Each structure stands twice: as structure tokens, then as C-alpha cells.
Amino acid sequence: MSPALLFPAGLAALLALTIPVVIHIARRTESRSIDFAALRWLDAAPRPRRSLMIDERLLLAARLLLLALIALWLAAPVLWNAADDRPVVAVAPGADAATIAAAVEQGNHVVWLATGFPDHGALAPAAPDDLVSLIRQLDAELPPGAPVKLVVPGTLDGVDAERPKLSRRVEWTVGAEAPARRVASPAPPTLTVRYAPDAEDAVRYFRAAATAWSAADGDPAFAAEPLDRAVSGNARHLIWLASGPVSAPVETWVRNGGVILTALEARIPVEGETVPVWRGTAGEPLAVAGRLGRGRVIRMTRALEPAAIPQLVEASFPDALLTLLDPRPAPARVAAIDHAPLTGAAPYDQPPLDLRPWLALLIALMLAGERWLATRRTRAVAP
């Protein structure tokens, strides 16, 4: 540990130490003279002999110490490298008890991998939504020399797309693998198509995509009708193949949460800026998307024909269309053994230990002592 002052100029307040000294010299403790009968025979005007005396030396010392502490507080004293460098065992909620018991050793600082890093002796918190971010935060808050052991369950949820990179090597302890849970694949969306007579040829590309989404023995969830047919309130995904402005009922349907994909010639308002959501092989945007109320608007940037968009007749088009209309979240579950942290990140600078709170407590105690010495009934007087 290395002491230091963040504001050394605060020590200039030590000049105030002269004030109580001057006061104690100039203001002697009052004394009362008592006349004795025999004193009347002495010389009435003797030469007084004076010497420099200070009364109440203990009170003076208390005042000097109080001012010195205040000056030191103003200088902002700190201690560098004062952090606790004991080995830390961080336990993720959900790890099995046998793995935790084997990893915890006497003398280690054991905490939960949860918000605030509570002690392990506290009630087990709920599993965090972002375990990897907590691991990075723990690495940043601990001193560089503190060894770290991480105890995690066999399967991690809510992880990042890449393994965490820390400033130190950690002991990665993985618990028993959790039983695999069967996750049902979401059903493909139902395609509702409204088309103008001159755009009937483009309908086949979307019918082919819906057929690819359906089971081999099932009918595709697909309904294509002319523009004059109303859109059902249960519909969620609409393909609008017509030029000119979109009808008012359809615009209202989008504002209420619908998703619409329009041809290049269609017109529908978009709130805010649009962003590319489908690109060609050369990186050119094929479709852009924006918000409209609670819904989404996807607008093609080229004509719906193979000459302009070759991807329409490729085998990847059904997947690309599904991603446009109903984007799936990125996988966030991984086996813990495959997600061990990497090393190589720059160490974090640790903040110094601020001593001013402790000095403030000491100043309060000294002030109470000084007041007691100054107001007590019997006060010491220099002889």
C-alpha cells in the first residue's frame, strides 16, 4: 500500500495552527487576587517578573491536532494498492452444490455472480440475464493480483456471440450438464398476399417460399388475393404487390402491429430512417426496413423479377424471406466448457482507497473531545 495526497495544496491549511497558539498565549486563564494583611508592608510597586507561559496545554494540543486533521482531509489522502487481493471464488446461480463445495476453500472470498456480487452466505439470487457481462465486471473490479475461480453450471444462457476476454487467467470450473430441454421450432408465418393484375407473376416467388416452409405432407400457409379484398385482422405478414399508395385500411393495420413487405413502386409512410435488412452478393441493399406505429415496413429496392434480384429463384430465398418477415433471435445458449474466458485484455486501473471518510470520523471525535476540554468545570492552569 502506498499513501498519497490527491490535493497536496490542501496542506496550506496547516498555517491555521498558529491561531490557537496565539490565542492561548495572549489570553491567559483568569486568576483572582486575594489580599493578605502582611502584604501591606511590602513594596507597593515591585518589578514584575514575567515569563512566557501557556495555560491549558492539553486543550491546545487537542485544537492543534483537530486543525491538522482538517488540513489533511482537505489534501484528500488515499492509499494505492489497498484492495483486497484474497483469492475470489465467484459462483453462478444454478451451479450444482457438489461442484460448489469442491471449489470453495477456506480463506477464499466467495461471492455470487449476480448484481452487486453478494456474499455466498446470502440467499441465492436468481440467475442473471447476462452472466458474461458480470464476469467482465468482476474482472474489472478486482485488483490485478487477485486469483479468481469461476464456478458455472454446465449450460450457460444469455451469453454473448464471442467468448469473454479477461485481464487475468481464471480457473473455470464447470458443473454437471443440465438435462437437455427440447425446444419446439416456431411455426412459419402465414403469408397474406395482395397483388395488382400486372404483378401476378411475382406472386409465385412467395408461394414457392411458403411451400418450402411447410411440411412435406401439408398445405402451405399462403393466401393470395387481389387488392380489393380486405386484410384479415388475424393476419400478421402481408406482401403488397402494387404500385402507388397503400390503402388506408392496410396502413392502419400496419400501425397496429402488422408487418408489410411492399414492392418497389408501392408507397407507405415510414417513421424515422430505414436500414438495409437484405443485401445482395456484392453488398447492395435489396430491401430496407423501418417502423410505422407498432408495425414494420419492409420495402424492396428493386423490381421483383430475377433480372433485378437473382436471389428470387435461388434455394436460399425462402430462408431470406423468413428472416425478413420474422427475424429469429441469435442463439444465446452454449455449453459452459466451450465458453471458457480468454486472456489478453488490458488490466483495469484500480481506484485508490479514499481515507477521507475515516478522517471525517476522527475529526468528529476530536471536535467532541475539544469541546469537552473547553467547557469542563475544572480546567488546568499553568503554574
Spatial separation of the C-alpha atoms in residues 169 and 299, rounded to whole Å: 49
What pLDDT is attached to residue 379? 55
pLDDT at position 154, please?
A: 87
Q: Residue 277: what pLDDT? A: 94
Q: Based on the number of CB atoms within 10 Å of its own CB, is 184 exposed (0-12), middle (13-18) or buried (19 or more)? A: exposed
Are 268 and 251 a contacting pair, CB within 8 Å?
A: yes
* CA 280/CA 313 separation, integer angstroms: 13
Q: What is the mean pLDDT of residues 287-310?
A: 94
Long-range contacts of 273-277 (CB under 8 A, 24+ apart): 274/299, 277/324
The alpha carbon torsion through 149, 155, 159, 162 (nearest 10 deg) reads 80
Q: Would you list the domain boundaries of the chain? A: 1-28+54-81+352-383, 88-178+335-343, 191-325
Mean pLDDT to the nearest integer, 168-195: 78
For the residues 43-70, what does the mean pLDDT come to?
75
> Cβ contacts of residue 63 below 8 Å, gap of 6+?
20, 370
Window from 21-25, 118-122, 357-361, 376-380 with minimum mean pLDDT: 376-380
291 close to 271: Cβ distance less than 8 angstroms: yes
Q: Give the predicted TM-score (pTM) of the model.
A: 0.48
User: How sure is the predictor about 125, in pLDDT bands with cuts at 50, 70 and 90?
Assistant: confident
Mean pLDDT throughout 296-302?
A: 95
CA distance 82 to 276: 51
| Contact between 347 and 139 (Cβ < 8 Å) | no
Window from 173-177, 245-249, 261-265, 266-270 with minimum mean pLDDT:
173-177
How far out from the chain centre does Cα 228 lie?
52
Average pLDDT across the chain, whole number = 84
**pLDDT > 90? residue 119:** no
What average pLDDT score do residues 202-216 get?
Answer: 90
> Of 24-28, 178-182, 231-235, 326-330, which gets the smallest average pLDDT?
178-182
- Here the cell at position 209 is 417460399
Hey, is 331 helix, strand or coil? Answer: coil
Residues 237, 238, 244: CA angle, nearest 5 degrees: 150
pLDDT-derived band at 106 (thresholds 50, 70, 90) equals low
Residue 116 has a pLDDT of 87
Going along the chain, which residue ranges are E strands? 2-5, 77-80, 88-91, 109-112, 148-152, 155-157, 165-166, 170-174, 191-195, 222-226, 237-241, 244-245, 259-262, 266-267, 271-279, 285-292, 295-300, 333-335, 342-343, 353-354
What's the CA gap between 213 and 186, in Å, rounded? 11
pLDDT at site 302: 94
CA atoms within 13 A on the CB side of 347: 10
Cα distance between residue 221 and residue 201, in whole Å: 19
Q: What is the pLDDT of residues 353-371, one digit of tens each?
A: 788 999 999 999 999 998 8
